[in-house]
Amino acid sequence: MSRSLSPAIVGAGVVGLFCLAVMIFGDTLSGHDHRAIDLSMRLAAPLAPGHLLGTDELGRDVLARLLNGMRWSVGSALCATLIAFCIGTTFGLAAAHKGAWLGGALKLLTTFTQSFPSFVMAVTVIALLGDSGFWAVTLTLGLVTWPVFSRVVYAEASSLFQREYVQAAEMTGMSVARLYAHHVLPALVPTLSVLVVFHFAEMIVAESALSFLGIGAPLGAATWGAMLSEGRAFMLQAPWLTLGPAFAMVIIIVAAHSVGQHLRNLTR
Amino acid sequence: MSVAELNTAHEIVLDIRKLRLETVADRRVLIPNLDLTIRRGEIVGLVGQSGSGKTLTCFAVGGLVPQGVRVAGGEIHLEGRRIDNLAEAEWRAVRGGRIGMVFQDPLSSFNPVKTVGSILIESARRHRGLDKRAARALAVETLRAMRLPGADACVDAFPHQLSGGQRQRAMIGLALINQPALILADEPTTALDPTVQLQILALLRRQAQQAAALMITHDIAAAGAVCDRIAVMLEGEIVEEGPTTQVLYEPRHPFTRSLRDAAHLGRRP
C-alpha cells in the first residue's frame, strides 16, 4: 500500500476541485452566458478575442456552453450514481439476509432489470415519461443501472454472513441491524467506493449518449452530448465544436478512473 | 413434587426433548429424535464424525439453525424455560446472555478489523446495560479471569496480534462475559496445537463449574479429558451416552469402540 500520491491522483484532485467550482458558479466562470447569441461572431476559432474556445454557429461561447454542460453532466451522473447506489445497496443487503421470499423476489427483480440492455431500456423509459429534462434523465439512469450495485452487494454481503465472525457476533445476541452496521457494512466500504467511482464515469458517458441522441437534455440545452450532436454538422469547418466536449468528457472519465484505480490499490 | 425433585429440576440447565431437525426443501430428516440433559457444573461431550449432526444440534440450541434447516419437533428448555419457540427479540437476550458460544477457529471468529475488546465490550453493554467504561473494565477483568497475560493490552489488540491460544482464551471470555448458564463449545481445541489444547480444556473445565457446558468434538480423547459425560452421535442419533469413564473404558456400541480405537491409533508414536 503506497501512501505517496501519484501524478494521476493529483490531476484527478485538480479536476475534482474544478468540477466543484463549475458546479457552484457554472458558466459565469467564462464571463459569458451560454445562451447569449452573437451573430457577428459565428464560428469564431479558439483564442478569438473574448472567446477562449471559440464560438458555435450562432456565436455562442463554447467555453460557457462546455461549463454549463459540465454542470449538467456531472450533476446528472452524480445524482444517477447516488440513486443507483441507494437502490442497489438496499436491495442487495435485503436479499443477502436470509429472508427467504424477499431475497428470491429481489434476485428475480435484479435479473429482470439486467436482462434488458440498459441503454435501450433508458431510451424506452424516457420515451414513456414523454419529458426530457434533468430529473427525467437522471432518474432513468439511476433506475436502470442499480443492478450493478445490488449484484455486488448481494454477493459480498452473503459471503460475509457466512463468515464465522458474523455468526459469532450473532451468537452474542446482536440484532440484524447491528450486525449490518458493525460487521457487514464496514467491510463493504472498499468495494462500494471503487464501484461508485467507476459507475460515475459510466453515467457521464450514458448521459452524454442520451443527450447526443436528443432524448436526454431538452432541445437547445448546452450539454456535452447535445454539443457533440450539433457540432457534427461543422466537423471540418469548426472542429472545436466537437473536440471541446469530447476532451472534456475524456478528462472527467480519466480522472474518475484514476481515483477508482487509486482506491482499489489502497484497499488491496 | 418433593423438595429433592424440585432441586434436581432446578439443577437441570439444558434439557433437549425429542428434538427433530429436517431440511426445509425435501424434508430429509437430519436429526430424528434427540434427547439430552445437562446439569449445572457438568460438561457433556457430544462426540461423533463430521456430518453426524453435532454442530447442528449445537446451533439448534443457540436458535440459529442454518438456512434450509428447520426444527420440526421437540422442545428445548434452558433453566426450566422453553426457548425453542422464542421470538427473535427474546432470543437475542438469551444468546450471549444466558448462552455463550465458543467457536472452533478463534482467528476467523473475531472480526479482523475490530479489536478483540470491542467485541467483548459490545456484548457486555448490550446484555448488562453497562456504560462504556464499566464494560471495558469488565472485559479486562474477564480476560484476566481467562488467565490471559497482559489483559489490559489484549483488550486493544486486533485478533492477528494475539497467538492462537490467546485468541481462544479471549473467545471463551466473550462466551462467558455475561455469566451464561450454558456454554456451547463447538470444537474449541481443533484449531490449536496440542499443548495449548490442554490449557484451553483446563480453562473450560474451570469455567464450567458455575455453568453447564456442551462440548462438541470429534476428538474422543479431548472429550475424555474434560467431560463428565459423553454422548456419542452417529448419523443424527445418540447411540451411546454415559459417564466418561464408562463410555471410554466399557463402550457398548461398536461405533464408540471404533472412535476410541481411532483416538488411540492417532496418539501412538
CB proximity list for A209: less than 8 A, separation 6 or greater:
A119, A216, A225
Would you state the pLDDT for residue A124?
Answer: 84
Beta-strand pair B81-82/B99-102: unpaired
Q: Hey, is the C-beta of A186 within 8 angstroms of any chain B C-beta?
A: yes
Name the 3-class secondary structure at B68: coil
Say if residue B156's pLDDT is above 50: yes
The band of A1, judged by pLDDT with boundaries at 50, 70 and 90, is very low
ipTM: 0.82
- Are the C-beta atoms of A75 and A135 separated by less than 8 Å? no
Selecting from A163, A170, A182 the residue whose C-beta is nearest the C-beta of B64 gives A170
- Are the C-beta atoms of B97 and B125 separated by less than 8 Å? no
Which residues in chain B touch residue A186, judged by CB atoms under 8 angstroms apart?
113
* Interchain contact, B101 vs A183, CB within 8 Å: no
The three cell numbers locating residue A157: 454481503
- Are the C-beta atoms of B215 and B182 separated by less than 8 Å? no
Class level of CATH domain A60-267: mainly alpha
The band of B268, judged by pLDDT with boundaries at 50, 70 and 90, is very low
The three cell numbers locating residue A229: 450532436
Report the share of chain B in percent with pLDDT over 70: 94
The band of B98, judged by pLDDT with boundaries at 50, 70 and 90, is very high
The strand ranges marked E within B91-168 are: 99-102
Give pLDDT tens digits for A209-236.
888 888 877 777 788 988 888 888 888 8
Which residues in chain A touch residue B124, judged by CB atoms under 8 angstroms apart?
none
Query: What are the backbone angles phi and psi of residue A241, rounded to the nearest 5°?
Result: -65, -35
Q: How far is A2 from chain B (nearest CA, A)?
A: 20
Say if residue B14's pLDDT is above 80: yes
Report the share of chain A in percent with pLDDT over 90: 20
Would you state the pLDDT for residue B269?
Answer: 43
CB proximity list for B89: less than 8 A, separation 6 or greater:
none
Would you state the pLDDT for residue B2?
Answer: 54
The band of A24, judged by pLDDT with boundaries at 50, 70 and 90, is confident
Would you state the pLDDT for residue B76?
Answer: 93
H or E element in which residue A215 lies: none
Mean pLDDT of A106-130: 84
Residue B236 to residue B34: CA distance in whole angstroms: 8
Q: How far is B7 from chain A (nearest CA, A)?
A: 29
* Interchain contact, B94 vs A169, CB within 8 Å: no
H or E element in which residue B71 lies: strand B69-78
Say if residue A48's pLDDT is above 60: yes
Q: How far is A164 from chain B (nearest CA, A)?
A: 5
Domain segments of chain B as ranges: 3-267
Q: Hey, is the C-beta of A98 within 8 angstroms of any chain B C-beta?
A: yes
Residues 206-235 of A with CB under 8 A from B: none
Residue of A nearest to B116 (CA): A165
Class level of CATH domain B3-267: alpha beta
Say if residue B178's pLDDT is above 60: yes
Say if residue A266's pLDDT is above 70: yes
Greater confidence, A29 or B151? B151
* Cα maximum dimension of chain A: 77
Q: What is the dihedral of CA A224, A227, A233, A239, to 10 degrees?
A: -70
Residue A27 to residue A9: CA distance in whole angstroms: 26
The contact set of B with A (CB < 8 A) is 62, 64, 67, 91-97, 99-101, 103-105, 108-114, 119, 122-123, 126-127, 171, 174
* Interchain contact, A167 vs B62, CB within 8 Å: no
Mean pLDDT of B190-216: 86
Residue B233 to residue B214: CA distance in whole angstroms: 13
Residues 45-64 of A with CB under 8 A from B: none
Say if residue A268's pLDDT is above 70: no
Question: A23-37, A215-229, B22-36 — which one is most confidently predicted on average?
Answer: B22-36
Q: Which residue has the cell 440513486?
A: A83
Residue of A nearest to B88 (CA): A175
Would you state the pLDDT for residue B204?
Answer: 86
Say if residue B193's pLDDT is above 90: no
Give the closest residue to B92 by CA, choosing from A148, A176, A29, A56. A176
Give the closest residue to B162 by CA, choosing from B136, B143, B141. B143
Range of weakest confidence among A22-31, A56-65, A152-161:
A22-31
Q: Hey, is the C-beta of A187 within 8 angstroms of any chain B C-beta?
A: yes
Query: What are the backbone angles phi and psi of residue B156, rounded to the nearest 5°?
Result: -95, 10
Q: How far is B182 from chain A (nearest CA, A)?
A: 13
Amino acid, res. A113: T
Q: Hey, is the C-beta of A267 within 8 angstroms of any chain B C-beta?
A: no
Greater confidence, A100 or B23? B23
Mean pLDDT over the full length of chain A: 86
Would you state the pLDDT for residue B3?
Answer: 54
Amino acid, res. A86: C
Q: Hey, is the C-beta of A162 within 8 angstroms of any chain B C-beta?
A: no
Domain segments of chain A as ranges: 60-267
Say if residue B158's pLDDT is above 70: yes
Mean pLDDT over the full length of chain B: 87
Say if residue B9's pLDDT is above 60: no
Mean pLDDT of B5-17: 74
DSSP string, B169-203: HHHHHHHHTT--SEEEEESTTTTS-HHHHHHHHHH
Q: Which candidate in A101, A166, A172 is best for mutational testing of the B interface (most B CBs within 10 A)?
A: A172
Residue of A nearest to B121 (CA): A172
In terms of Cβ atoms closer than 10 Å to its own Cβ (0-12, 13-18, 19+), residue A185 is: middle
CB proximity list for B27: less than 8 A, separation 6 or greater:
B72
Selecting from A165, A171, A187 the residue whose C-beta is nearest the C-beta of B62 gives A171
Would you state the pLDDT for residue A98?
Answer: 64
Mean pLDDT of B31-59: 90
Say if residue A44's pLDDT is above 90: no
Residue of A nearest to B24 (CA): A100
H or E element in which residue B76 lies: strand B69-78
Q: Which residue has the cell 453447564?
A: B212
Q: How far is A161 from chain B (nearest CA, A)?
A: 11
Give pLDDT tens digits for A59-84.
888 888 889 889 889 999 999 999 99
Say if residue A173's pLDDT is above 70: yes
